[in-house]
Structure 1
Amino acid sequence: MGQTGKRLFQYAMQYKKTIAIALILLILSICAELVGPFVAKRMIDQNILGIEKTWYEVNEAADYSVAYQGKHYVREDRLEAGADTAQLKAVRVLQVERAYYFIDENISEAAGKRQVLDGMLTITNTAAGESKQYAAQKLNASQLFQFYKPEFPELLQLAGIYMALLVVAALFAYGQRIMLQTSANRIVRKMRNDVYAHTQRLPINYYDNLAAGQVVSRITNDTEAIRELYVGVLANFFTGALYMAAIFTALFILDYRLALFSLPLIPILIVWIIVYRKYAASYNRVIRAKLSEINAMINESIQGMPIIQAFRRQRKMTAEFEEINEQYFKHQNKMLNLNSITSHNLVNVVRNVLFLVVIWVFWGSSLSTVLTVGILYAYIDYMNRMFAPIVGIVNQLSNLETARVSAERVFKLMDEDGIEVATGSLPRYKGEVKFEKVYFAYKDDEYVLKNINLHARQGETVALVGHTGSGKSSIMNLLFRFYDSPNGVISVDGRDIRDIPKQLLRQHMGIVLQDPFLFTGTIASNISLDNPAITHEMVVKALKDVGAYEMFNQLPGGIDAPVLEKGSTFSAGQRQLISFARALAYNPAILILDEATASIDTETEAIIQSALEVLKQGRTTFVIAHRLSTIRAADQILVLDRGAIVERGNHEQLMELQGKYYAMYQLQLGAAVQTA
């Protein structure tokens, strides 16, 4: 996964202690679980199939001895140490189909096809081309029980050990899963916090080219896919890798030939993963991109629903959504087909073919003499245990690719140049603002501001007027450093604003936009923005200063009345008053009113204009306005046309000039008269 994988690993290493403990628990769980087949092998070969070993007749009853027809017999592996078997009579107990037979003589070679007819046991060795016959006595249930009875204590003991191992393995597995998933959740929590924090540091121009829904998708959907990487994918890959390593170790201990025969599974799995990732990567990139577009379109549709319904664009919007959704659906189906082809069904086919080949090669040859039923049982048990994590790995391949693509998208966002949040504070400046030979373009060589020169002294009110697109808001964007101009100098109190951290520069600036934004909360919290430095008394004072306190205090809950998303339950004028009080509560040295009275009725505008006469003292105020009647008292009026200041002066001076300002004023005055 290259650089992306390295960064994901770095996030994981922040919780390496918990992950290390989880892996230790996983290893202990695997060890406890993989001892089980060895215990089962001993139970089968020693305690169950051990009945076919050679038995010796002894003179008297002893430990592990069996009484049969008045005589006592002990199995060869249960004889006392040092016993001379050459002096003892040997007998055998052999299974033929579902019955057991007692042979009152030793059989040196019991391998071959067995058949009993008229009390005679025939053993045919197909490979040697010979057969032998022995007198055989069929054992009834009680007699057979006597031969098995000495093994019951050990069988029960081994069964208890087997169950205890399963319980211990389950406890360790539970512990490692809890710790690993807890670590994964912490990793993704940290990543999501980092991504969100970085979105707060990104410059405003980044969001000019990226829909809000796409950013939301990266913070939510993509980080959730990465969480699945740590919770599901890596857990399965770690578990699978450790299981496979442990099982192959156990297989070499069990029988090296079976282990060597199974080794090709590893390169097959590696090739499998490489081929899958080759096709899945391209599909997932489209899927994640389309999912972001769907989120963006839904977000945009919800915000613009009044316009969509007012202009009857429902069908058009639905058609556009269905087109994006159809592309998402097609690529989802491609991933579904790929997953179906490479799913656990194919793993099961590989496993079953392997079992058939092993039985054919080993059990059907002379090697069957050294490969006992217990060994084959343990081998099949181990292979079933190994294929379970292989299935887990294969099933997580789609999540792996989804997480990888999602991580690329998240890290791409985090790699965008951001602005580090400055600490500390800046002394409140006087508010003297200068623009000197400032040029600015949002796109290369497409200048929206040309040779801007202005000087706003402390306490002055400067109005910016002009047609739409003349550059009024761009001047304020530069002053706030939402954008930086490479040409010219903008200074506050004689200091170049590029030398001041953006957060500290804005500390003593306030802005009121034409379309104010309100957050979910209360009226008071929207004014203070939960800044502990803004007290309840300061909020009340700000509302009183703009003449809105009585208006909001009459609402249920007063100024603690709830505000829904974007302040949808308030009128445009009420939202603007809250925004205006917010700016004043922060007591800015520089106040910007960007079309602040455009959506306010005449009565509310009169309230604000009255408040401004008091509040602008000692504060530099920039006013962007279309209604020229609201800026007649401004100390300076700057008339912009196509990004350049073409006229400047106060109202009387500009009226005497009879230029663009005069024409605009007369036009608005005439329109007002006609309306009246």
Structure 2
Amino acid sequence: MSVGKRLFQYALRYKKMIIIALAMLTVAVSAELTGPFIAKKMIDNHILGIEKPWIQVESPMEETVEYKGNHYIRTEYFEEDASEYPEARILQVKRDYYFINEPIDFDGNRSVEGSSIIIEKGDQKAVYEAEELSSDQLLAFYRPEVKWLIYLSAFYMGLLVVSAIFTYWQKYLLQKSANRIIQNMRTDVFGQIQRLPVNYFDNLPAGKVVSRITNDTEAIRELYVTVLAQFFTGIIYILGILTALFFLDVRLAMICSVIIPIMFIWIIMYRKYASKYNYLIRQRLSDLNAMINESIQGMTIIQAFRRQKQTTDEFEKINEEYFSYRNKLLNLDALMSHNLVNLLRNIAFVTLIWYFGGASLTATTAVSVGVLYAFVDYLNRLFQPITGIVTQLANLEQALVSGERVFRLLDREGEDVSDTKVPRYKGNVVFDDVTFAYKEDEYVLKNISFEAEQGQTVALVGHTGSGKSSIMNLLFRFYDVEHGKIMIDGQDIQKMTRQDLRKHMGIVLQDPFLFTGTIASNVSLDDPAITRDTVEKALRDVGAEPFINQLPKGYDEPVIEKGSTLSAGQRQLISFARALAYNPAILILDEATANIDTETEAIIQKALDVLKKGRTTFIIAHRLSTIKSADQILVLDRGRIVERGSHDDLMEVKGKYYQMYQLQQGTKESQAV
């Protein structure tokens, strides 16, 4: 399905609100576009209407005008048969007005000689006796038109007020629906991130993911708020204006209709070139966000190793590429936006001048000034929505490119969050001939087989890259095995949903992650099933209460920036309390004591003893002194288990474990490797 169709489907969620907004927009546009018609009527019927036939009547009426003792009324205001009454005319010659007490046979070029008006049309010529009207006399003839001019002006003002009210509400509803659409889209994107497997984030920097949720969805918001509103408004305006032009003059309206296919071709050509630049622009913007995020996270290292200049140079390189593509798009916009609109506008006005000046303003085919005014007004109005549509083409392309990026993320295969309640399993774990590779044919685990019974502690040791963390990643199903199988209580974990599997598993990392909130909320993670008493008991049991009591707000002490105001040991104790509060059947400790001092380690060792009770525990450790009491120690080397047994058993063998232990104790004999 195309990006446009999918964006349209999101809009359909609020179709009722959008339809109401478009209906209001139609009313607002109709009310506004009535203006030139009203102006035409005011000019032709009431301002220039005094040149229409007048008749002399015997008695005064509401619409009559007194002139030299006689009463005159315009024929269109006279309800009876006017043919029986003598006719008179008022004609304008240059800036003066003249009264002729008789009808005229034809109209044409007018001139004045003495007290006569001469009208010429081709070979025809007529002479009429005329009297020049004074200002007061002329105003008297205009008096019947004043009330109509006031009525029409008031009517037009009323329409403008109606248009303003409906315009306000249509904009409000369109923007409200657009914000709702983007709110739903951001929720969907963020929810999708929770569904994606961990390996999706291995090759995608956090800054790029953030860019999808913020920058890309914001560009799509512009599509609904500004672009579509401008397109809908513009289309309704253009259709309304063309309809009005057809009422005024069919031939000229047909000429103006040529603009529609020109605009269609115009948009196709623009999108052909602009989409490429917009895609590269969004890509570079993601790269900028990724680098900014990485630089902030690693600012300590950057400054410690004096890498500020190199980092700035790398950033500037990406920034320069971003600027370059932006500039190219700017050139394209400058070439294909206002310049082309102005060209079309000028062509349209030249056509109008040629049509009216070359043909219609002749004596034989005269057109009213009101029609001329209406045409000029409508042509000016016609190019306003065209300009608006053209200026939004860039935003349209950005939104479509951003939509493609967002939908690509939403289309990634994920797993729905399960709300099912799974009985707590015992925690008997079996790895049966497990082989695994992050990249094809680059195996990090080879034929791994072992058993961990309920309540046992299994320690994994080995050099960096030996496969310790990979085993835990497979157990948690952050990744899935390629060969062999992993079972818990005899059930293949591949047949369990990830949420059900992890329901009764807990993990404590080397660098514990604390969320913004409080100490208590970081233990419960706002799970309603974990009560406040459970939180406080877990913190007491792991030995965190002494330092918590020293904090101003105790358990409700704010945690900010991943717990930067707390020491490494304090953060680790909170992480232990979190694992204890969730009461997992299987517990994984990934280098949990690697970054703490000796004094804190003693506290944490006691916390570990509390944590491990009744649970199957896996410990990844470099400090071998912390795993001496483990029921089973697995020694890994290049993805294989090369030794296994208790601490005492492995020390007797004097193999790799023995060598590592001796090195750490500082008593390694010279013959050791």
TM normalised by structure 1 equals 0.95
Query: Helix, strand or coil: the match of 1:364?
Result: helix
Query: Helix, strand or coil: the match of 1:365?
Result: helix
Q: After superposition, where does 1:181-220 map in structure 2 within 5 Å?
A: 181-220=175-214
Q: After superposition, where does 1:124-203 map in structure 2 within 5 Å?
A: 124-125=120-121, 128=122, 132-203=126-197
**Structure 2 residue aligned with 1:567:** 563
**Structure 1 residue aligned with 2:78:** 79
**Structure 2 residue aligned with 1:627:** 623
CA separation in 2, counterparts of 1:185 and 1:617?
Answer: 51
Comparing 584-593 with 64-73, greater Cα deviation is found at 64-73
**Structure 2 residue aligned with 1:599:** 595
User: How high is the sequence identity, in percent, across the aligned residues?
Assistant: 63
Q: After superposition, where does 1:45-64 map in structure 2 within 5 Å?
A: 45-64=44-63
**Structure 2 residue aligned with 1:312:** 306
**Structure 1 residue aligned with 2:245:** 251
Once the two structures are superposed, residues 643-666 of structure 1 have per-residue CA deviations (whole angstroms, 9 ceiling, x without a partner) of 010110111111111111111111
Tell me if structure 2 keeps the 8 A contact 1:458–1:620: yes
**Structure 2 residue aligned with 1:480:** 476
**Structure 2 residue aligned with 1:68:** 67
Measured after TM superposition, the shift of residue 130 of structure 1 is: 5.9
Measured after TM superposition, the shift of residue 604 of structure 1 is: 1.5
**Structure 2 residue aligned with 1:556:** 552
Q: After superposition, where does 1:606-621 map in structure 2 within 5 Å?
A: 606-621=602-617
**Structure 1 residue aligned with 2:328:** 334
Once the two structures are superposed, residues 261-292 of structure 1 have per-residue CA deviations (whole angstroms, 9 ceiling, x without a partner) of 21101011111211111111111111111111
Comparing 89-98 with 520-529, greater Cα deviation is found at 89-98
1:93 aligns with 2:87: no
Once the two structures are superposed, residues 25-53 of structure 1 have per-residue CA deviations (whole angstroms, 9 ceiling, x without a partner) of 11222222222322222111111111111
**Structure 1 residue aligned with 2:40:** 41
Relative to 1, partners in 2 of residues 1:22 and 1:379: Cα closer, same or farther, differing over 3 Å?
A: same
Tell me if structure 1 keeps the 8 A contact 2:576–2:611: no
Q: After superposition, where does 1:90-129 map in structure 2 within 5 Å?
A: 90-112=87-109, 114-125=110-121, 128=122
Residue 275 of structure 1 aligns to which amino acid in structure 2?
A: M
Tell me if structure 2 keeps the 8 A contact 1:440–1:448: yes
CA separation in 2, counterparts of 1:620 and 1:122?
Answer: 117
CA separation in 2, counterparts of 1:53 and 1:169?
Answer: 34
**Structure 2 residue aligned with 1:272:** 266
Tell me if structure 2 keeps the 8 A contact 1:93–1:100: yes
Measured after TM superposition, the shift of residue 169 of structure 1 is: 1.4
Measured after TM superposition, the shift of residue 109 of structure 1 is: 2.5
CA separation in 2, counterparts of 1:425 and 1:80?
Answer: 88
Residue 550 of structure 2 aligns to which amino acid in structure 1?
A: Q
Once the two structures are superposed, residues 414-471 of structure 1 have per-residue CA deviations (whole angstroms, 9 ceiling, x without a partner) of 1111111011111111110000010100011110000000100000000000000000
**Structure 2 residue aligned with 1:642:** 638
Once the two structures are superposed, residues 510-547 of structure 1 have per-residue CA deviations (whole angstroms, 9 ceiling, x without a partner) of 10111111111111111111111112221222122221
Measured after TM superposition, the shift of residue 3 of structure 1 is: 1.1
1:511 aligns with 2:504: no
Q: After superposition, where does 1:132-531 map in structure 2 within 5 Å?
A: 132-366=126-360, 369=365, 371-531=367-527
Measured after TM superposition, the shift of residue 672 of structure 1 is: 9.9
Cα RMSD, aligned residues only: 1.9
CA separation in 1, counterparts of 2:603 and 2:377?
Answer: 85
Tell me if structure 1 keeps the 8 A contact 2:36–2:378: yes
Measured after TM superposition, the shift of residue 340 of structure 1 is: 1.9
Once the two structures are superposed, residues 147-168 of structure 1 have per-residue CA deviations (whole angstroms, 9 ceiling, x without a partner) of 1111112221111111111111
Query: Helix, strand or coil: the match of 1:623?
Result: strand
**Structure 2 residue aligned with 1:18:** 17
Relative to 1, partners in 2 of residues 1:111 and 1:344: Cα closer, same or farther, differing over 3 Å?
A: farther
CA separation in 2, counterparts of 1:29 and 1:551?
Answer: 66
Tell me if structure 1 keeps the 8 A contact 2:514–2:562: yes
Residue 331 of structure 2 aligns to which amino acid in structure 1?
A: N
Aligned residues: 668
Residue 39 of structure 1 aligns to which amino acid in structure 2?
A: I
Measured after TM superposition, the shift of residue 295 of structure 1 is: 0.9
Once the two structures are superposed, residues 542-565 of structure 1 have per-residue CA deviations (whole angstroms, 9 ceiling, x without a partner) of 122221211122111112111111
Query: Helix, strand or coil: the match of 2:455?
Result: coil
1:28 aligns with 2:15: no
Tell me if structure 1 keeps the 8 A contact 2:576–2:607: no
Tell me if structure 2 keeps the 8 A contact 1:363–1:371: no
Measured after TM superposition, the shift of residue 241 of structure 1 is: 1.3
CA separation in 2, counterparts of 1:364 and 1:562?
Answer: 81
Which consecutive unaligned segments of at least 5 residues does structure 2 have? Answer: none
CA separation in 2, counterparts of 1:129 and 1:519?
Answer: 96
Tell me if structure 1 keeps the 8 A contact 2:643–2:650: yes
Residue 595 of structure 1 aligns to which amino acid in structure 2?
A: E
CA separation in 2, counterparts of 1:413 and 1:395?
Answer: 29
Tell me if structure 1 keeps the 8 A contact 2:30–2:240: yes
Once the two structures are superposed, residues 597-631 of structure 1 have per-residue CA deviations (whole angstroms, 9 ceiling, x without a partner) of 00011121122222333432210000000111111
Tell me if structure 1 keeps the 8 A contact 2:53–2:87: yes
CA separation in 1, counterparts of 2:342 and 2:156?
Answer: 27
Relative to 1, partners in 2 of residues 1:604 and 1:394: Cα closer, same or farther, differing over 3 Å?
A: same
Measured after TM superposition, the shift of residue 129 of structure 1 is: 5.9
CA separation in 1, counterparts of 2:3 and 2:79?
Answer: 66
Query: Helix, strand or coil: the match of 1:155?
Result: helix
Query: Helix, strand or coil: the match of 1:453?
Result: strand
Query: Helix, strand or coil: the match of 1:95?
Result: strand
Residue 549 of structure 2 aligns to which amino acid in structure 1?
A: N
**Structure 1 residue aligned with 2:532:** 536
Once the two structures are superposed, residues 69-101 of structure 1 have per-residue CA deviations (whole angstroms, 9 ceiling, x without a partner) of 2222222322333232xx543332122233222
CA separation in 2, counterparts of 1:352 and 1:596?
Answer: 75
CA separation in 2, counterparts of 1:439 and 1:81?
Answer: 106
Measured after TM superposition, the shift of residue 122 of structure 1 is: 4.0
CA separation in 2, counterparts of 1:667 and 1:231?
Answer: 66
Comparing 49-58 with 652-661, greater Cα deviation is found at 49-58
Residue 341 of structure 1 aligns to which amino acid in structure 2?
A: L
Residue 260 of structure 2 aligns to which amino acid in structure 1?
A: I
Once the two structures are superposed, residues 396-427 of structure 1 have per-residue CA deviations (whole angstroms, 9 ceiling, x without a partner) of 11110111111011101111111110111111
CA separation in 2, counterparts of 1:198 and 1:165?
Answer: 48
CA separation in 1, counterparts of 2:514 and 2:550?
Answer: 20
TM normalised by structure 2 equals 0.96
Measured after TM superposition, the shift of residue 124 of structure 1 is: 4.6
